[in-house]
C-alpha cells in the first residue's frame, strides 16, 4: 500500500511538471531573444465642431435641431422703426434650450450680438429687440440646446420704406 501511494505521488508530480511546461529539453537561456517591435503610435488630430465666431458665421451651415429639441421663433423687422424682433415661442425642446443669441450684421459691415434673457434659459414669450438699419440687415440666430450650439436661422431682413 505504501509503494502504491509513493507511485501515485510521483505520478502526480510528473504530471504537474508536464502540465507546467517544464519538460522542454532545450535551454532557453542560450537562445537569442528576438527584439520586441512595437508600432509608433500615430498622433490623432481632433477636429472640433466649428463654433460660430464674429468673423465667420457664414462658415457654419444652418442646422436643424433634433426632433425632441425643436423650438420655434418668429423673426420680424418693423418697417417704420427698423427694429428687429426675435420672439421665442417655445416648443417640445424648451427643456433642452439653454441660450439664444441673435447676431445682426448691417449693410455697412457693423456687427452686434444680442443674448436673450442675458444668456440665461429662455421661456416662451421672451424676445430680443435689436436696432436695425433702413436697409438690409443679416440676422443669424444661434440656439444652445443640450450643450450643442446650432445655427438655426440666417436671414436678411429689409425695411424698404
Which pLDDT tens digit goes with each residue over 57-79? 556 889 999 999 999 999 999 98
| Residue 128 predicted with pLDDT over 90 | yes
Query: Would you kindly state where each structural domain of the chain is located, as residue ranges?
Result: 62-158
Backbone torsions φ then ψ of 73, nearest 5 degrees:
-135, 160
- pTM for the full predicted model: 0.64
The model's pLDDT over 13-57, given as tens digits with 9 standing for 90+, comes to 665 666 566 545 555 555 555 555 555 444 434 443 344 454 555
CATH class for the domain made up of 62-158: mainly beta
List, in order, residues 6 or more apart from 50 with CB less than 8 Å away: 56, 59, 60
Phi-psi region of 147 (alpha: psi -120 to 50; beta: other; left: phi over 0): left
Amino acid at each position: 500500500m505504501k509503494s502504491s501511494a509513493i507511485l501515485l505521488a510521483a505520478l502526480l508530480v510528473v504530471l504537474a511538471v508536464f502540465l507546467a511546461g517544464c519538460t522542454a529539453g532545450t535551454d532557453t537561456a542560450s537562445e537569442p531573444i528576438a527584439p520586441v517591435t512595437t508600432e509608433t503610435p500615430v498622433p490623432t488630430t481632433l477636429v472640433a465642431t466649428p463654433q460660430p465666431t464674429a468673423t465667420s458665421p457664414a462658415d457654419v451651415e444652418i442646422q436643424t435641431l433634433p426632433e425632441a429639441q425643436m423650438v420655434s421663433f418668429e423673426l420680424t423687422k418693423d418697417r417704420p422703426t427698423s427694429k428687429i424682433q426675435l420672439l421665442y415661442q417655445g416648443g417640445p425642446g424648451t427643456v433642452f434650450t439653454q441660450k439664444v443669441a441673435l447676431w445682426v450684421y448691417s449693410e455697412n459691415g457693423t456687427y452686434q450680438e444680442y443674448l436673450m434673457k442675458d444668456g440665461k434659459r429662455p421661456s416662451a414669450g421672451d424676445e430680443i429687440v435689436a436696432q436695425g438699419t433702413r436697409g438690409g440687415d443679416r440676422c443669424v440666430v444661434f440656439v444652445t440646446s443640450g450643450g450643442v450650439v446650432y445655427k438655426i436661422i440666417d436671414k436678411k431682413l429689409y425695411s424698404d420704406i
